[in-house]
Amino acid sequence: MGRLQGIICLLSILVLINDATCSRNDEQRLRFDKNTGQFRILQVADMHYANGNKTPCEDVLPEQFPFCSDLNTTLFIERMIHAEKPDLIVFTGDNIYGPDTADPVASMNAAFAPAVSSNIPWAAVLGNHDQESTLSRQDVMKHIVGMKHTLSRLNPFGVDVIDGFGNYNLQVQGTEGSDSVSVLNLYFLDSGDYSTVSSIPGYGWIKPSQQFWFQETSMKLQKNSKAPALAYFHIPLPEYSSFDVSNFTGVKQEGIGSASVNSGFFTTLVEAGDVKAVFTGHDHINDFCGELNGISLCYGGGFGYHAYGKAGWSRRARVVVAALENKLNGSWGTVESIKTYKRVDDEDLTVIDNQVLWIKTP
């Protein structure tokens, strides 16, 4: 990209204008379905893809083990795409398992192949294992951004201005023929991998530069409309520890693998006011969703067969359905509700844990 185009791209980001010079991916707009008034998002958490049929599964029943590999993960994605026909597929990190692959490009190409071949728009963020092979974290995200049909982006303002790789937002417009203003906003953030501060152990966290970008973006979007928003990243916030069996839907079968420090991002989300739900991965055998201070904090549930899990506890995927208000004159209004459920990888892709995350108030 030339200097002039770079300046144009930066300016367009600052004023939240989708300019074709910024990315070829901007040419594909996200819209609600004109027949149903819905927008469906399929979340795929923790594929841990490695080397295809050479990769053994983890934590499956003894009778499953001899025939189970990364290809089971691929088949699960294909079945979910066929069953749900999502408008967007979101991969929330640990897409590949770096320690087990010498060719991360081949692993990524195979991992995302069902999304690419479906011609459905898709977006991805990084987890803590994606870069643990021969590519840096930046190079992993650069490869993802260059793949077909992805709306993933590297970073606003360039990689030297904001921490992490893969901080971006997407706007979902109403049905075809409606105003171009966004009616649903999506935020994607790089929650890091591991702490880079020697005195702080454990996982990474969302840094001040990312929070500033989020705040600025949220304020500008809300000047155009009061559209609800969703946020996707890999590592859960410390606030996920606020729930017990009495106030969430789903299961909690392991500890919350958040950073050991609280960077205050949840408070930032509450203050901004537009984000109604957050979706993460990382803790594979947690799949719960609970509400705190008006924001639902949700796990996707472990998806990949090369990821750790629990034998006899099916891999699963989360679906989010945003629905527009159906007006009396036959037209569609703004977003009226946001609901979610999961499907488990059994013979029928059984739907479980239907719940309402948000309903528009008068």
Predicted TM-score (pTM) of this structure: 0.92
Give the sign of the dihedral formed by CA 80, CA 85, CA 91, CA 97: positive
Q: What is the pLDDT of residue 179?
A: 83
What is the DSSP code (8-state) at residue 240? Answer: G
Q: How far apart are CA 164 and CA 175, in angstroms?
A: 33
Q: What is the pLDDT of residue 20?
A: 32
Q: How far apart are CA 2 and CA 198, in angstroms?
A: 39
Question: How confident is the chain (362 residues) per 10-residue block, as mean pLDDT?
Answer: 42 38 54 96 98 97 96 98 98 97 97 98 98 97 97 83 95 91 97 94 96 96 94 98 94 97 97 98 98 98 98 98 89 95 98 98 85
CATH number, span 3-359: 3.60.21.10
Best CA proximity match to 68, nearest among 59, 79, 77: 59
Q: What is the pLDDT of residue 161?
A: 86
Best CA proximity match to 321, nearest among 362, 288, 354: 354
The domain spans of the chain are 3-359
Q: What is the pLDDT of residue 6?
A: 43
Q: What is the pLDDT of residue 158?
A: 65
Q: What is the pLDDT of residue 159?
A: 62
